[in-house]
Structure 1
Amino acid sequence: MDDELTPALAGALRSAREEGGLSAGALAEASGVSRAMISKIERGDSQPTAALLARLCAALGLTLSELVARAEGSRSRLARRHDQPVWTDPASGYSRRAVSPAASATLELVEVELPAGARVMYPAESYRFIDQQIWGLGGTLHFTEGDETHVLHAGDCLQLGAPSECVFENPGPGPCRYLVVIAKNPSRGTVSRGEQR
C-alpha cells in the first residue's frame, strides 16, 4: 500500500466506524474481523489485505472505492489519472485504481491489475448491496463466483450474479487487467448488522 495513503485509510476507516455509531467490538462482530486487527488497522500498524478490507467495508455499507475516496478527501467531479488513488494488496500484489471522481455517489469505475499467478478472494457479503460488471482489458482472468468459473479475455464483459464468494485469479504468465463497474443497488439494501457474518 502507498505509504502516504496508509494513515489516511486508517483514519477513514475509523471515521466511518464512528459515524455509523459502531464500537470496534461491534464492527468486529459484524465483519468477522478480530477487534485486535481492527485496532491495528485504525492505528496504521497493519496493512490490510483486499479480502479483509472487503469484510470491513461491507459491514460499514461502503465499497472499497468509497473508503479510498474518503481517505483521499477529494470531492471533485473530475479525476485526472495522476490524481486517481491506487491501492495495492500487500498479500497478492493486486493493484486497484479508483478511476471515478470521488463525487460519484452511485457509480464507480475501478481499474485492476492482477499480477501473474495472483489470486484474490472476496466474501459474499462484499456484493450484497452492489451490482457489478467486469470488463476484460488485457490478459486472461479466471473469475469464480460460487461454483461457476468464467474465463474472461480482453473485450469480454461479465455481469455478476447473486452475491456469493468470488475469486479473481490470473493463470497467465503476465499481468491481467480489467475494469470493474460498480453500482449501488438500493433494492438489495445494506445488510443489517445481525446478518453480516
Structure 2
Amino acid sequence: MRSDEVDAVDTRLGTRLAELRAEHGWSLGELAERSGVSRSTLSRAERAETSPTASVLNRLCAVYGRTMSQLLSEVEAAPDPVVRADAQRVWQDRASGFVRRSVSPPHPALRGELVEGRLDAGADIAYDRPPVAGLEQHIWVLEGALEVTAQDTVHHLGSGDCLRMRVWGPTRFRCAVAEGVRYLLAVVRP
C-alpha cells in the first residue's frame, strides 16, 4: 500500500475517532480515563498526526463497543457485497510490525468477518481487553508460526493449525520465527 493511501486512512480514522468521542459527549480527559490511553495520544490520533497502534485502537474499540473491523469500515464508503483482493483495506501498526487486511466486505450489521494478519519476526502485540466481551475468534495459521496467549493459556500454532476461542480478557499475539507469520482470523461478534 502506498504511503499516501495509508495517510488518507489515518486522516479518515482520526476524523471518525473525534466524531465518536463527540457523539458520546466526552472530553479528551474523559476518554483517556475510560480507555487508559493518554490524552496526548488521543489528541494526536484524532488530528492524524500519528497512526494509532493496534493496542490503542483495541482500547478505543472496547470503549466504543466495536470490533476493529467495524471501526475501520466506518471510515470507508458503503461497501459492495464483493471486495476484490486489490481493494481490501490494509492497516498497518508500524511500531509493532503488524499488518491487518480486511478480507470480508465490510458491513456494520453483520456479525462475522475475515481478517488476514501478518506479523514480522519478533512482533509481540498485547491487548489488555477484547474490543467486545465474549468475541469469538478462529485463528488459522497459513504460513509460519504464532503464539497466542488467552486466559493465561499459551497456544503454539504452526502452519495449518487453527485455534478457536472466546475472548473475555487479555490476549497476546507473538511471532517468534524468523520468517514472520501470516494467519486468517475469523471474528464473530456475540
TM-score w.r.t. the length of structure 1 is 0.87
Unaligned runs of 5+ in 1: 186-197
In 2, the alpha carbon distance for the partners of 1:8 and 1:145 equals 32
Give the match for residue 135 of structure 2: 130
Structural mapping, 1:1-197, within 5 Å: 2-103=6-107, 105-185=110-190
Give the match for residue 195 of structure 1: none
* Shift, 1:129, TM fit: 4.7
Q: In the TM superposition, what whole-angstrom CA distance separates every residue of 1:148-169 from its partner, at most 9, and x where no partner exists? A: 1101112211112451211111
Tell me the C-alpha RMSD between the 2 structures: 1.7
Q: In the TM superposition, what whole-angstrom CA distance separates every residue of 1:121-145 from its partner, at most 9, and x where no partner exists? A: 1112435152111111110001111
In 1, the alpha carbon distance for the partners of 2:28 and 2:66 equals 16
Q: Which has the higher strand share?
A: 2
User: Aligned pair in 2 of structure 1 residues 149, 127: CA closer, same or farther (>3 Å)?
Assistant: farther
Unaligned runs of 5+ in 2: none
Percent of aligned pairs with the same amino acid:
39
Q: What secondary structure is seen at the aligned counterpart in 2 of 1:144?
A: strand
Number of aligned residue pairs: 185
In 2, the alpha carbon distance for the partners of 1:76 and 1:21 equals 32
